[in-house]
Amino acid sequence: MPVKNRFAELLPEITAWRRDFHEHPELLFDVHRTAAKVADLLRQFGCDEVVEGIGRTGVVGVIRGKTDTTGRVVGLRADMDALPIIEQTGVPYASKTPGKMHACGHDGHTAMLLGAAKYLAETRNFDGTTVVIFQPAEEGGGGGREMVADGMMDRWGIQEVYGMHNMPGIPVGHFAIRKGALMAAADQFDITVTGKGGHAAKPHDCVDTTVVAAHIIVALQTIASRNVDPLKQVVVSVCTVETDSTAHNVIPQVVKMKGTVRTMDHKVQDFVETRISEIVSGTALALGATATVNYTRGYPVTINAEENTDYAVEVARQVSGHVDPDTAPLMGAEDFSFMLNERPGAYIFVGNGDTAMVHHPAYNFDDNVIPFGASWYAGMVESRMPAA
C-alpha cells in the first residue's frame, strides 16, 4: 500500500478545498463556515451519518465498511481552526480576513481527512466502522476536550483514535512519531505578590514587591535545575511581570506575574505545581510580603499508546517508506491529548519540508503533503479493520 493512486487523481480537488479553507480562516470555536463546508462535503461523499455541533462546532462523519463482522470502530481526527496572525505568505489564496491565518496547517489536515473520507466512502474496503472527527479550537480553546465531554467516544463507540500534524523541517513524504509522551502538558500560573508600596527613597518603610518578585523568578528556576530529575523534561517560564507603579520613584503595592509550565509526566506535573506554591509563599514570607498562586491545568501530555504507535509506523512505512519511529518529544502541547486520554491511539507528524515554522506569518502548508497524509489516514482504517 504505497501512496494510493486514487489520491493522485483526487489531488486537484483536495488542494482546492485546502486553499479555500486557507482563504477563509476562522478562530477557535468560531469555525462555522469551515464546519458547514466539511459537513456538506461529507454528505456529498455519501457518509452514513454526518452530525454537526459536537463540542460546539465540531463535525463527525460515519462511514461503514462493506462488512462489519467484528464491531470495530476506528476514529480519525483533524483540526479546523486558524490563528490570530497577519499573513505574509504572498500566495494568491492568502487569507481574506486580515489578522486571521491558517498558520498551523489545520487547513491541510482538514483537507487531507476529507480526502481520506471521500476515498473510504467510495471504496468501503474495510470490516468495521470509520468515524472521521473534525474538531474546532485546537489552538488553545480545548475543542478536543469539548468533543470528548459531549460524549463523542461513547456515542459512536470509538475504540481507537489517530491524529496527524504537519511538521516543517521534516522532508515531505517522511513521517515521525514516538511511543509514550510525544508532546507536553501545558499549564499556566498567575502569581500575585502583595507588599507595602510607598516612596522609593524610603524602602525601609515599604515591603518592596519588585524585589520579592525578582527573588521568586530566580527561585522558580531551581525547580528545573535543582528539584526535578535531570533525565525528566520540565520547563518553568515566567513570561509577564506587571506592577501597579508607573513611576521611577514609587515602590508598587502589588506585582503580578504570569507564566507557563511544560511537563511530560504526570508525577513531575504534580510535583511542579506543589513546588511553585511552596517557593512563592516561602519566598514572600521570608521577605515580609504575601503572595498567592493560581495554577491552571491546560492540555494534558499527548501519550501515544505502544501498540497503536506500532500500527501507525507500519502504515507510514507502507505509504512512503520513510518514518522515524523514535523522534524527539516536543514541549508544545496538543489538544488531541484529550482524545488519547479516552482511547488508545497515536499521533504522528508528517513532513512539511523546508518551510517557515508553524505559527510564523510566512508559514504555508505544502499541498504536496496531501497524498501522503490522506493515504496514511485511509491506510490506518484498512490496516486496523482489514476487509473480511
Q: Which residues bind Zn ion (CB under 5 A)?
A: 104
Q: How many CB atoms lie within 10 A of CB 174?
A: 19
Nearer to Zn ion, 107 or 382 (CB): 107
Least Cβ distance, residue 84 to Zn ion (angstroms): 11
Nearer to Zn ion, 127 or 139 (CB): 139
Least Cβ distance, residue 109 to Zn ion (angstroms): 8
Nearer to Zn ion, 141 or 252 (CB): 141
Least Cβ distance, residue 192 to Zn ion (angstroms): 30
C-alpha–C-alpha distance, residues 155 and 335, integer Å: 20
Cα dihedral sign for 125, 48, 14, 76?
negative
Sheet holding 129-135, edge to edge: 49-54, 58-64, 129-135, 73-79, 160-167, 345-351, 175-176, 323-324
Least Cβ distance, residue 83 to Zn ion (angstroms): 6
Under 8 Å between Cβ of 142 and 337? no
Beta strands 302-304 and 180-183, pairing class: antiparallel
Nearer to Zn ion, 104 or 385 (CB): 104
Nearer to Zn ion, 83 or 148 (CB): 83
Least Cβ distance, residue 49 to Zn ion (angstroms): 27
Question: CB nearest Zn ion: which residue?
Answer: 104
Nearer to Zn ion, 101 or 104 (CB): 104
Cα angle for residues 119, 122, 126 (degrees, 5° grid): 80
Least Cβ distance, residue 383 to Zn ion (angstroms): 25
